[in-house]
Amino acid sequence: MTKLIDVRENRAGQLAGFAKYPDLAFLLDRISGIAYDYQPIFAPTREIRIAYRNTRDWRNFRSLFWNS
């Protein structure tokens, strides 16, 4: 079985309607038979995302993310 693991901190954010939960889980299941799992523990922290937005320094983002 194929499974999509959603790691977004806010799965009901400003994305298109079909990419929000629960619509995404419903569409994945009905259209493709893909299971949906939510694991925000794998998302970068808010602080790491803000630091990246301010600097656009990918190496720093990667370092902060992998070492957190």
Tell me the per-residue pLDDT of 20-48, one tens digit each, with 9 for 90 and over: 999 999 999 999 999 999 999 999 999 99
Q: What angle do CA 17, 18, 21 make, to 5 degrees?
A: 90
pLDDT at 13 over 90: no
Cα separation, 37 vs 7, in Å, equals 9
Q: Look up the pTM and report it.
A: 0.75
